Chain A
């Protein structure tokens, strides 16, 4: 029995698998030194990432088979559950703080970030509600503002952790969805100005963010403190040159570059694989974006379109912010690189998201 009109988008699947394998390789290469010195096991990070990759791929194929309309029915409930978790994570003693943000729930390595799940839940919820109330969108209050309210609530809770990076990804993804759904351009300009003002306010309200901004303007002024991360990243990328030092030959991973296996994994990619390898990864990412938008365009209904845009947008925004940070184009913000960075929640969720996208692609008309 043939339920779907199409087979899933195999190009997207191929891109996802290529990125997954590249990611596992790079996580090992980038983390081996650190893993050996910290845990006495150079495979420490790889093993964990591999576990999540297997689980994630399993989930991806499972989700691929679930009709995406199923998610719309559960979206509201899932989002409410996420709001609860976002509140719970803020309770000291329950939520775990890492790197200055109380973002984790759980025990040790097997902990999750509610904000990651919130992103997906919110995308589904928004796709559902926007597709149901699209005709209201040109109305500023009843359309646009109403759509934004659940986004702002999630953003507010995430900012209490505080995690500006995830918050930004969340808001920008939703903005893209609302824009594509057909909100008025002039409303966008208004909201955009407001958003910029709010963003400035957020930066000014936290001294460490101002410091990041100043050290971004000239990192070489203060190479040991504020500019340290970005300089170490540039010292990995630059010497990589055209062809790179070769896989496994990074020098900066010898504990010069902090977090080589997570936020700054792209620096190690650039160092070991050079301009050619790093560009290849970027091209893969762009193809992912292209396939995602193609799926959105071909989706049979607005819900499918918006769901595909939301997922593609989320992945694209995260990629863009991460790449812009490690290449020194924007100030340091803690965001991982989809598929490549070490991190179980993130990888699993990415694969699940791709699974949803693949299902949408099967409905293409």
Chain B
């Protein structure tokens, strides 16, 4: 069969048509890519051509309430490597590793990474200026030194747990640094230059500089003058008593603002890596939970007064030394009891059976509803992470015994911040505030306030009138009762001591001879400006009693802080039972043979220093009968009973 030339020609034209269509498609495709998608592809390409040298943003500073710097930054060089520009990998790795104290193998791996820019982390991050100069002096191609910032805490351990610290990438890891990280961290900037694959500049494209944006600075409610006093007192307490731990909080009762907060053992935030995480992760004032002991009686007292369950002066109670509740005997700390006393004296003496009776007068449901209202059992909401809730009795299982022990501060587990917040509410007119550390955000560069953080009032718990009665009563505890050692001349101080037995976490039983001694105080009593809570865990070489150990510390913190804050001294408060300076001399009693636990009954006005490990006093100095000034220190030697009898 013959195939005609016509067929061939037709098919040739068909082939040409296919070609025409194909080329039309190509031109359309080019138009789409080069005109329609031009912008998008251009941006993508610019990104792929640009090499960014990062500029780290300066982290916002942390300031105290008057603008004193608590955390800031120092510029600190870091080593950057552009692997493609490295000429001699072996030599570079060798020299770099010896300057930066790293293994050559590691250095080699770093500079061989298939990335445009590599940071030598951590050996080459935030190094000293000397080291940076050494690296620069090597003159290695592809190795650069960039300016980074290193977090600096100019006051060292000062406020460490509250401030927390920031890590190597300036990210907040603990404390306020972590809680307010978003506001503090700022935004990194960079210089972008355009380069070929080898990192050489493509000179016809301009460099692009995006400046870093500093983070905002955080102004705190903390007053560094108050904080200094708190730190000083706790350091002294640690030196004197070698406690397991010690903590103190100072709060403005009228706003919930924290004026000072510290705990020991502490650490230097710049050297957090050398410290056990148990130390820096546990901010004791908000983390630690324990039986509060007698400081908790302020809550019982407030409830009783608000419910009008008692007339402190007229109503009396007979303390036989113990009280029976639900078949159990609850003992007063004083052997033999306080005898007949008014309820005001019950508070002044911190008499446990008296408070059991007070709790019964309130009624268990009412009592527990006040405990809830005062904020126990839930987080206070302070602007820190890691706050504990504490443990209250399960509401369905509260019997008379649980209600009775709760009334004097046993069987419940609370945090220091819950206590000081609750007591502040009890004495400030009845307003429960959320404790707060942040006061305002401040522009780091201009120093102008960006926004103020207002106090948060949660609820009214008791009436103004009840609150005034609580203040007056607690003032008398300091003037005339167990809190005498907190007395500050010229300021009307109110307060309450606390001595709580610790519970062995393994057995659930009370530990013998292991107490947390505390004091909750405030001043001036008629118009409180500061609330202070001090808690010393297991002080050694002393009588473990809140009135002996913690009250004087709290007293000094209150007195010094008020005068530092410029609160004028005043007159007209309750005076200490005996006026200064007509202070009578005290005749030292014979303590020999006395049980160690009974020591705290007798000696409110004298300081005791103990030596030895026994339970019974074997020797004392000065000798009995000698007259000394109030507040003098008596040294007692403790031994075992047999020896004392000799």
| Contact with A238, one of B3, B41, B195, B198 (Cβ below 8 angstroms) | B41
Interface string of B24-67 (1 = CB under 8 A from A): 01110111011101101110110011000000000000000000
In the complex, how many angstroms separate the beta carbon of B189 from the nearest chain A beta carbon? 24
A182 nearest CB neighbor, chain B only? B3
Are A282's CB and B30's CB within 8 A? Answer: yes
| Contact with A241, one of B12, B35, B49, B197 (Cβ below 8 angstroms) | B35
Q: Is B271 engaged at the interface, CB distance under 8 Å to the other chain?
A: no
Interface centre among B22, B25, B38, B49 (most CB of A within 10 A): B22
Are A320's CB and B11's CB within 8 A? Answer: no
Given A241-B34, A290-B16, A235 and B41 contact (CB-CB distance below 8 Å): yes
Q: Is A22 engaged at the interface, CB distance under 8 Å to the other chain?
A: no
Q: How far is the CA of A135 from the CA of B29 in the complex (A)?
A: 42
Q: Is A141 engaged at the interface, CB distance under 8 Å to the other chain?
A: no
Are A279's CB and B204's CB within 8 A? Answer: no
| Contact with A286, one of B9, B19, B197 (Cβ below 8 angstroms) | B19
Given A33-B196, A181-B8, A313-B15, A286 and B20 contact (CB-CB distance below 8 Å): yes
Interface string of A274-297 (1 = CB under 8 A from B): 110011001101100110010011
| Contact with A234, one of B27, B33, B49 (Cβ below 8 angstroms) | B33
In the complex, how many angstroms separate the beta carbon of B11 from the nearest chain A beta carbon? 5
CB neighbors of B among A315-334 (8 A) = 316, 320, 323-324, 327-329
Are B27's CB and A282's CB within 8 A? Answer: yes
Chain B contacts of A239 at CB under 8 A?
38, 41-42, 45
Are A293's CB and B3's CB within 8 A? Answer: no
Are A249's CB and B45's CB within 8 A? Answer: no
Beyond the given pairs A270-B30, A296-B12, 13 more chain A to chain B contacts, judged by CB atoms under 8 angstroms and listed by A's residue number, are A134-B3, A237-B41, A238-B38, A240-B34, A241-B35, A241-B38, A242-B35, A251-B202, A255-B198, A256-B48, A275-B34, A289-B23, A305-B12
The list of the 7 closest CB pairs from A to B, nearest first, reads A238-B41, A254-B196, A182-B3, A255-B197, A235-B45, A275-B34, A239-B42
| Contact with A324, one of B11, B19, B26, B195 (Cβ below 8 angstroms) | B26
In the complex, how many angstroms separate the beta carbon of B520 from the nearest chain A beta carbon? 64
Q: Is A180 engaged at the interface, CB distance under 8 Å to the other chain?
A: yes
Q: Is B1 engaged at the interface, CB distance under 8 Å to the other chain?
A: yes
26 A-B pairs within 8 Å (CB atoms) are namely A135-B1, A176-B15, A180-B15, A238-B40, A238-B41, A238-B44, A239-B42, A241-B38, A251-B194, A254-B196, A254-B197, A254-B202, A270-B30, A275-B30, A275-B35, A278-B34, A279-B27, A283-B23, A285-B23, A286-B19, A290-B19, A293-B12, A320-B19, A320-B26, A328-B33, A329-B26
Interface string of A299-325 (1 = CB under 8 A from B): 000100100010001001000100110
Are A135's CB and B35's CB within 8 A? Answer: no
Q: Is B512 engaged at the interface, CB distance under 8 Å to the other chain?
A: no
Interface centre among A33, A37, A180 (most CB of B within 10 A): A180
In the complex, how many angstroms separate the beta carbon of A181 from the nearest chain B beta carbon? 7
Q: Is B7 engaged at the interface, CB distance under 8 Å to the other chain?
A: yes
Chain B contacts of A282 at CB under 8 A?
23, 26-27, 30
Chain B interface mostly helix, strand, loop or mixed? helix
Q: How far is the CA of A279 from the CA of B35 in the complex (A)?
A: 13
In the complex, how many angstroms separate the beta carbon of A223 from the nearest chain B beta carbon? 8
Q: Is A179 engaged at the interface, CB distance under 8 Å to the other chain?
A: yes
Chain A contacts of B197 at CB under 8 A?
254-256
In the complex, how many angstroms separate the beta carbon of A361 from the nearest chain B beta carbon? 15
Are A234's CB and B8's CB within 8 A? Answer: no
Are A293's CB and B198's CB within 8 A? Answer: no
Interface centre among B20, B23, B200, B204 (most CB of A within 10 A): B23
Are A238's CB and B11's CB within 8 A? Answer: no
Q: Is A137 engaged at the interface, CB distance under 8 Å to the other chain?
A: yes
Chain B contacts of A241 at CB under 8 A?
34-35, 38, 42
Are B34's CB and A256's CB within 8 A? Answer: no
CB neighbors of B among A60-75 (8 A) = none
Q: How many chain B residues touch A (Cβ–Cβ < 8 Å)?
A: 42
Q: Is B2 engaged at the interface, CB distance under 8 Å to the other chain?
A: yes
Are B16's CB and A238's CB within 8 A? Answer: no
Q: How far is the CA of A238 from the CA of B37 in the complex (A)?
A: 6
Chain B contacts of A150 at CB under 8 A?
none
Are B16's CB and A235's CB within 8 A? Answer: no
Chain B contacts of A162 at CB under 8 A?
none
Q: How far is the CA of A156 from the CA of B240 in the complex (A)?
A: 95
In the complex, how many angstroms separate the beta carbon of A299 from the nearest chain B beta carbon? 10
Interface centre among A37, A238, A270, A289 (most CB of B within 10 A): A238
In the complex, how many angstroms separate the beta carbon of B123 from the nearest chain A beta carbon? 28
Chain A contacts of B200 at CB under 8 A?
254
Chain B contacts of A270 at CB under 8 A?
30, 33-34
Are B26's CB and A323's CB within 8 A? Answer: yes
In the complex, how many angstroms separate the beta carbon of B125 from the nearest chain A beta carbon? 26
Are A289's CB and B19's CB within 8 A? Answer: yes
Are A255's CB and B41's CB within 8 A? Answer: no
In the complex, how many angstroms separate the beta carbon of A276 from the nearest chain B beta carbon? 9
Interface string of A34-52 (1 = CB under 8 A from B): 0001000000000000000
| Contact with B22, one of A134, A138, A320 (Cβ below 8 angstroms) | A320
Q: Is A336 engaged at the interface, CB distance under 8 Å to the other chain?
A: no
B197 nearest CB neighbor, chain A only? A255
A278 nearest CB neighbor, chain B only? B30
In the complex, how many angstroms separate the beta carbon of A205 from the nearest chain B beta carbon? 28
Given A180-B12, A286-B19, A327 and B30 contact (CB-CB distance below 8 Å): yes
Chain A contacts of B26 at CB under 8 A?
282, 320, 323-324, 327, 329
In the complex, how many angstroms separate the beta carbon of A300 from the nearest chain B beta carbon? 11
Chain B contacts of A33 at CB under 8 A?
196
Q: Is A252 engaged at the interface, CB distance under 8 Å to the other chain?
A: yes
In the complex, how many angstroms separate the beta carbon of B487 from the nearest chain A beta carbon? 75
Are B15's CB and A309's CB within 8 A? Answer: yes
In the complex, how many angstroms separate the beta carbon of A125 from the nearest chain B beta carbon? 19
Q: How far is the CA of A181 from the CA of B15 in the complex (A)?
A: 12
A134 nearest CB neighbor, chain B only? B3
Are A238's CB and B42's CB within 8 A? Answer: yes
Given A293-B15, A302-B8, A256 and B30 contact (CB-CB distance below 8 Å): no
Q: How far is the CA of A177 from the CA of B245 in the complex (A)?
A: 96
Interface string of B194-227 (1 = CB under 8 A from A): 1111101010110000000000000000000000
Chain A contacts of B8 at CB under 8 A?
180-182, 302, 305
Interface string of B438-481 (1 = CB under 8 A from A): 00000000000000000000000000000000000000000000
Q: How far is the CA of A182 from the CA of B25 in the complex (A)?
A: 28
Q: How far is the CA of A313 from the CA of B1 in the complex (A)?
A: 26
Given A181-B3, A235-B44, A286-B23, A293 and B16 contact (CB-CB distance below 8 Å): yes
Are B30's CB and A289's CB within 8 A? Answer: no
Chain A contacts of B20 at CB under 8 A?
286
